[in-house]
């Protein structure tokens, strides 16, 4: 299964075993962390619902999510209403969260450059490839890929602050540079394309829902590439040894304290 697959559901995608950016994030903590089963946190559920609403639209959103009215689950009627929602087999989103997502989506749409980034391309397309250096099977699911072999990959990020300095810190802390390089290389591996740029659309989660669009320099993409290459080589070593240790260093490490 190599190439672009536009019709794989969110649930099906996550069941396919392959090296992903989220797997590499856990691996960067320590190898054993990569093997800990990942559960969706409330923040992850919110992010998934928001991405669906913004990138796929109301119809697609309603196929996967249901907005819950105000329900008092302490009462008999409330418990029955909640049970009925659960039986729908959809992810339940509170009315408060849905209103917040709507405001955030509207803010993105009103941003002159952000809406241009989202006007073309395809959303929620799954990409699968074999890493050429290690042979490991990899996957990613970019928010937006170009229609052809040329263009940019777009990723929407909800954030506390869309200010340039604050978001740069977030990129470094959460490894978004590594993600950018991983996605670019994965897309180019199966499309023989020349995608070399990655755009972040950052939107704040509090009023006025400030939106900003950022890209990384070629140098920063190269640094991100070195980061993911180091991790994917580590994963290969773990597989060859059949062991994913719960530590990074085998010996004693001198601690350097920051200047406060």
Residue 258 lies in a domain: no
DSSP β-bridge partners for residue 3 = 128
User: What is the per-residue pLDDT for 74?
Assistant: 72
Residue 211 lies in a domain: yes
User: What is the per-residue pLDDT for 72?
Assistant: 62
User: What is the per-residue pLDDT for 196?
Assistant: 80
User: What is the per-residue pLDDT for 40?
Assistant: 81
Residue 140 lies in a domain: yes
Proportion of the chain above pLDDT 90, given as a percent: 68
H/E stretch holding 43 reads helix 42-51
Residue 253 lies in a domain: no
Residue 12 lies in a domain: yes
* Number of structural domains the chain divides into: 1
From the CA atom positions of the chain, what is the Rg in Å? 20
- What residue numbers bound the domain in which 102 lies? 3-237
Residue 20 lies in a domain: yes
Ranges of the chain whose pLDDT falls below 50: none
3-class secondary structure for 218-229? HHHHHHHHHHHH
Check which CATH number belongs to the domain holding 13 and give it.
3.90.320.10
Task: Please write down the long-range contacts of 31-37, taking CB distance under 8 Å and 24 or more positions apart.
Answer: 31/234, 31/235, 31/238, 31/243, 31/244, 31/245, 31/246, 32/244, 32/245, 32/246, 33/246, 34/235, 34/244, 35/244
Residue 130 lies in a domain: yes
Residue 257 lies in a domain: no
pLDDT digits (tens, 9 = 90+) for 151-193: 899 999 999 999 999 999 999 999 999 999 999 999 999 987 7
């Amino acid at each position: 299964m190599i190439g672009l697959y536009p019709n794989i559901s969110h649930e099906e995608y996550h069941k396919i075993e392959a090296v992903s950016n989220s797997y590499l994030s856990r691996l960067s903590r320590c190898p054993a962390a990569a093997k800990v089963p990942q559960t969706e946190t409330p923040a992850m559920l919110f992010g998934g619902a928001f991405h669906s609403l913004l990138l796929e639209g109301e119809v697609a959103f309603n196929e996967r999510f249901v907005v819950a009215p105000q329900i008092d689950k302490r009462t008999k009627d409330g418990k029955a209403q909640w049970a009925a929602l659960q039986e729908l087999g959809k992810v339940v989103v509170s009315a408060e969260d849905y209103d917040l997502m709507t405001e955030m989506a509207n803010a993105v749409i009103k941003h002159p450059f952000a809406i241009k980034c989202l006007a073309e391309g395809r959303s929620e397309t799954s990409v699968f490839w074999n890493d050429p250096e290690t042979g490991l099977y990899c996957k990613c699911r970019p928010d937006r890929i170009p229609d052809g072999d040329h263009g940019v990959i777009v990723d929407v990020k909800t954030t506390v602050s869309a200010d340039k300095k604050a978001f740069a810190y977030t990129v470094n802390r959460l490894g978004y540079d590594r993600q950018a390089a991983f996605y670019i290389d994965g897309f180019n591996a199966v499309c023989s394309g020349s995608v070399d740029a990655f755009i972040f659309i950052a939107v704040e989660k509090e009023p006025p829902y400030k939106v900003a669009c950022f890209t990384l320099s070629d140098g920063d993409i190269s640094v991100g590439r070195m980061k993911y290459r180091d991790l994917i080589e580590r994963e290969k070593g773990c597989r060859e040894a059949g062991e994913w240790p719960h530590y990074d260093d085998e010996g004693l490490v001198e601690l350097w304290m920051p200047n406060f």
